[in-house]
Amino acid sequence: MPQLDFANPLMMSKLVWLLIIFGLLYFLLKTIALPRVASVLDERAARIAADLNAARDAQAAGEAALAELRASTAAARAEAQAAISAAMVDAQAAAAKQAAEINERLNAQVAQAEAQVRAARDQAMGALRQVAGETATAMLARLSVSAPANDVTAAVDRAASQGAV
């Protein structure tokens, strides 16, 4: 087996060259090749982390904006509700006030009209009594019955009051 032929001088020189080549390879990889890979991998990891952070920030901002939108919508709705109920209360108060005014005016007009009617009736009743008294005096005169004027008037008044009832 050639591998066990340790008398061969090439066996030793081969190992010396092995150490030189292996050492050189180790040096090249350690100082040049591997740091480059590490820097690229670090760069990528940093980039990914930065992108993830940016995405997270954007998500947080979006959520905040959404919450703000919800809050402002709710506020606007409440405000509108308050305005509506205030307007309704105002309108009801105004309507009630107007209705009261109208009622008052109508009551006054009714009272005035009733007073006029009463005055007109009283006047008419007065005139009727006078006519009835005069008629009764005339009829008594035709019948040649003399009666005191006071008695005639009292009789007419009695009859009128009975008729009014």
Partner 1 sequence: MAVEGNSIDALSQFELGTVGGAIGASVGFTQSNLHMLIAGALIVAMMVLGMRPRAIVPGRFQSLAESAYGFIDDMVVAQVGPEGRRFFPFVFTLFMFILFGNMLGLFPYAFTYTSHISMTFTLAAIVFVLITVVAIVLHGTHFFGYFFPQGAPLWLAPIIIPVEIVSYISRPISLSIRLFANMVAGHVMLKVFATFVVMLAGLGAVGPFLSIMPLTINVVLVGFEVLVAFLQAYVFAILTCIYLHDAVHLH
Whole-number minimum distance, CB 15 to partner 1, in Å?
A: 5
Using CB under 8 A as the binding rule, whether residue 45 contacts partner 1 is answered as no
Residue 7 interacting with partner 1 (CB under 8 A)? no
Give the one residue of 37, 67, 96, 113 binding partner 1; rule: CB under 8 A: 37
Query: Whole-angstrom Cα distance, residue 113 to residue 121?
Result: 12
Residue 50 interacts with partner 1 (CB under 8 A): yes or no: no
Q: What type of residue is 153?
A: T
Nearer to partner 1, 26 or 95 (CB): 26
Q: Is position 8 an interface residue for partner 1 (rule: CB under 8 A)?
A: yes
Give me the residues that bind partner 1 (CB under 8 A), please.
1-4, 6, 8-19, 21-22, 24-26, 28-30, 32-34, 36-38, 40-41, 43-44, 47
